[in-house]
Structure 1
Amino acid sequence: MNSETIFLLSFLAFIVFILALDLGLLNSRKSDTVSMKQAGLMSFFVVALSMCFYFVLLTYGHLLHGIDNLEKLQQVISSHHHPVKIIPGDLENSIQLYNQNLGLEYLTGYVVEYALSVDNIFVMVLVFTAFSVAPKNYHRVLFWGILGAIVMRFIFIFVGAALIEKFSWIMYVFGAFLVFTGIKMFFEKDGDDKIDTHNHPVVKFANRFFKVHNHFVGNKFFVTIDGVKKITPLFLVLLIIEATDLIFAVDSIPAIFSVTKDPYIVFFSNIFAIIGLRSMFFLLAGIIDKFRFLKVGLSVLLTFIGLKMLLHSYLENWGFTTSHSLIVIVSILGLSILFSLMFPLRTKERKLKFDPEKDEHLRH
C-alpha cells in the first residue's frame, strides 16, 4: 500500500469520525430543532479542525506523495504544477517550501469551497420552505445529503484530475464555464429563485420511475402502504438536495482546480467545506437574507477564478502566486459581507424569512 492510499484512507476514517460526532452533537434528542448554540459550536469545531489540517500539511504534506528525495519531489511538483522551485542539494528546505505551498493551496481551496457553500444554503432554505419540511427533519436530510455529496465529490474530483492530466485544454473549458456562470449569477434576480414543487425536474423524475406517497410520514424516507413501498416527500427533498449539490459541484470543483492540480488537496479542501455545511446551515439559515451582496460577491469570485484559469500562463509569468489568489478571494468575500452590513435591506424588502427554530407551523 503506497503513501497516497494510506494518507487517503486515514483521512476518510477521520471524516467518518467527524460525521459521527456531528450527528451526535447536532441531532438533538431533547428538542426537535438544532439551536444556534449547537450549530455555532459545531461550526467552530469543524473550522478549527480544518485549520489544524492546514498545519498538518505544513509539517507532513510531503508524506502524502511519499517524497523522500529531490528527484521524487521534482516529479511531484512537475506532475501537479506546483509553483515551487527546489533548492539544489537541499532536500530539507525544498520540502519545507513544498509543504508551505501545499498548505496554502489547501487553505485557498477551502476558503473558495466554504464561500460557495453559502450559495448552496440559499437553495436549501428555498427547498425546505417550498416543500414545508418540518424543522425537526432538517438534520436527517442534511446528514444523508452530505454523505451523498462526499461520494459524488470523490468521483468528480479524481475523474476531473485524470481528464486535466490527459487533456490540458479542459482547463480553458472550465475557465470559460466559470466566467459564464459568474456573469449569469451577477445578473440573476432574487425573484428567479423559486422552487416549483410540482414541476421540478427531480419531482417529475421521481413520479415517473417511483411510487410517491403524497404526505410526510415523520422522518421516514420510505413507507409501505397496502403492500406497496413508496418514497415519501422527505426523500424527494433529499433527492433535490443531492441534485443541487451535483449542480454546485460543476462550479466549485473546477474553481478549486484553478488553485491546485493536486486531486488530493482538491478533495481535502472540498470535504472539509462539505462537512461544515450542515452546521453552517443551522447557523445561517435564519439570517442569510441579511447578506444581500453575498451573491454578487460569489459571482465576482467565480468570474475571477474563471479568468485566472483562462489566463493562468500569463499570470504565472507575471509572478501571480497562490498567496495573491488567496488575498483576492478573501477581499472579494470580505467586501461583499461588509457592504451587506453597511447597506442592509429594509424589513419590508426582505423576501425570504426563515427560522428553523420558530417555523413549527411547517410541520405536517
Structure 2
Amino acid sequence: MDLAFLVVEWLGKPAWMWLSFLGIVVALLAFDLGVLHRDNREIEVRESLLLSAMYVGLGLAFGGWVWWQLGAELGMNYLTGFVVEKTLALDNVFVIALIFSFFAVPRIYQHRVLFWGILGVIVLRAIMIGLGATLVAEFSWVLYIFAAFLIVTGIKMLVMGDKEPEIGQNPLVRFMRRRFNVTDEHHGQDFFVKKANPQTGRMVWFVTPLFMALVMVEIADVIFAVDSVPAIFAITTDPFIVYTSNIFAILGLRALYFALAAMIHRFQYLKPALAIVLMFIGSKIFVADLLGLEKFPAALSLGVTLSIIAAGILYSLWRTRKPEIAA
C-alpha cells in the first residue's frame, strides 16, 4: 500500500499530522457519545469538573506534542491560542445558559444539544478558519484589519459590561416561530415531531424548542467565532495551529458547561480581563511594527495573556467570596 500521501503537505503541514489530529477528535467524540453518555442523563458538577480536567489535559498534551514536533515558537503560539479560546468559551457558557433557560431545556437533554452543537462548531470553525487563512495568504494587510477589529471589540466589551442578550427578541427566533410549525412543549430528546395541525387536522412536522435551542447555540458560536478567529490569526497565521488550538479548546466546552453554569456568577470580572486580552493581542501587530520586529515574541505573548486571565479569575473569585460569618 502506497503511503506517500501521508507526507504530502496540506495547508503547510504533512497530511499525517492533520489525519492524526482528526483521528483524535473523532475518537473523543465517539468515546463521549458511545461510552460516557450513551443515554440521556443529567451531568453532575463533579463529573463535569473531571471531564473538563481530562479535556484540558489532552489539549495541553497536544500542545506539548506540537512544541516537541514543530518547535518552541509554534508550541507557545498553540498554548496562547488554546488559553484565549478557552477563556472565550467561558463567556459562551453564559450565553448558552441563557438560551437553555429561555427555551426551558431540561437538564437531562442539555448534553444532547451541546454534543450536536460541538459537531456544528467543528465544521463551522473549519470553514471560517479556511477562509481566514486564504485571505491572510493572499492579502497580508488583512491581519491589520483583524488586529484593529480585536482592539475595537475589546473596548466595546469594556464599555458594554455584562449586558444580557434578549433571546426572545432575537430576529432568528422570531423568524422560526413565524415561518415554521413550532411546538410549545418539549417532546423528549426529539428535535422534530409529527403531529396534527390544529387548523387543518393533517399530520405535519413541528420544530421543538430543543431544536430552536440548538440553532441558537450554533448561532452563538458563529458570533463568538467572529472574535476568536481574528484573535488566533493575530497570534499565528499557521492554519494547523489555528484550527487545532480552537478545536481542542472547544471540545471540552460541553463538560465545562455543567460546572460553570452553576457558578458563572463567580467569574463576573473575567469579561473585563478577556477584553484587555483581546486589545493586547490586537495591538501586538502594531507594536511589533513600531519596534521594527518581524514578530511579537511568542513567549512574551503567552506570559502576558496568562497573567491577565489569571488576574481576572483570581480577582473574580476574591470579590465574590462568601462573607465571613461573625462569631
Q: Name the aligned partner's letter for residue 23 of structure 1.
A: L
Residue 196 of structure 1, aligned match among 167, 172, 195: 167
Q: What is residue 167 of structure 1 aligned with on the other side?
A: 139
Deviations 1:270-324 (CA, angstroms, capped at 9, x unpaired): 0000101111111211011111211111111111112123434235629740110
- TM-score normalised to structure 1 length: 0.80
Give the deviation of 1:183 after TM superposition: 0.8
Question: Which residue pairs with 2:274 in the alignment?
Answer: 298
Q: In the TM superposition, what is the alpha-carbon distance from 1:120 to its structure 2 partner?
A: 0.4
- Pick the aligned partner of 1:214 from 184, 188, 198: 184
Query: Which amino acid is 1:139 matched to?
Result: H
What's 1:44 paired with? 53
Q: Name the SS for the 2:206 alignment partner.
A: strand
Number of aligned pairs?
A: 307
1:319, 1:60 → 2: CA distance?
A: 21
Distance 2:79 2:187 in 1: 42
Q: Would you identify which runs of 4 or more consecutive aligned residues in structure 1 move more than 6 Å? A: none
Q: CA deviation at 1:6?
A: 2.7
Deviation of the 1:50 alpha carbon: 1.2
Q: Distance in 2 between matches of 1:327 and 1:211?
A: 52
1:274 is aligned to: 250
Q: Which amino acid aligns with 1:155?
A: I
Q: Does the residue aligned with 1:132 lie in a helix, a strand or coil?
A: coil
Q: Please give the alpha-carbon distance, in whole angstroms, between the structure 2 residues aligned to 1:144 and 1:336.
A: 31
In structure 2, give the amino acid aligned to 1:323. Answer: A
State the distance in 2 between where 1:316 and 1:269 align. Answer: 28
Aligned-partner Cα distance in 1 for 2:295–2:154:
25
CA distance in 2, matches of 1:196, 1:117: 19
Q: How does 1:352-363 map to 2 (within 5 A)?
A: none
Matched, 1:110 2:82: yes
1:319–1:225 CA distance, 2 compared to 1 (3 A): closer
Spell out the pairing of 1:172-191 with structure 2 (5 A cutoff). 172-190=144-162
Cα pair distance change 1:140/1:121, threshold 3 Å: same
Q: Secondary structure at the match of 1:49?
A: helix
**Superimposed CA distance per residue, residues 161-214 of structure 1 (whole angstroms, 9 cap, x where no aligned partner):** 110111111111111111111111111143x204332x2122123234433222
What's the secondary structure of 2:167's corresponding residue? coil
Q: Which shows bigger deviation, 170-179 or 261-270?
A: 170-179
CA 1:218 to 1:315, structure 2 compared with 1: closer, same or farther past 3 Å? farther
Separation of aligned partners in 2, 1:195 and 1:25: 36
| Residue of 7, 14, 35 corresponding to 2:17 | 7
Which stretch shows the higher mean deviation, 316-325 or 148-157? 316-325
SS of the residue aligned with 1:223?
Answer: strand
Gaps of 5+ in 2: 197-202
Instruction: Name the residue aligned to 1:352.
Output: none
Letter in 2 for 1:52: A
Q: State the match for 1:89 in structure 2.
A: none
Matched, 1:134 2:106: yes
Deviation at 1:21, TM superposition (A): 1.7
What does residue 77 of structure 1 align with? Answer: none
Amino acid of the residue matched to residue 320 of structure 2? Answer: P
CA distance in 2, matches of 1:236, 1:318: 47
Letter matched to residue 154 of structure 1: A
Deviation string 1:91-146 (CA, Å, 9 cap, x unpaired) is xxxxxxxx121211111111111111111001111111122111111100000001
CA distance in 1, matches of 2:292, 2:97: 40
CA distance in 2, matches of 1:259, 1:318: 13
Q: State whether residues 124 and 241 of structure 1, in contact with CA within 8 Å, keep that contact through their aligned partners in structure 2.
A: yes
- Name the CA distance, whole Å, in 1 between partners of 2:161 and 2:144: 28
Percent of counterpart pairs with the same letter?
43
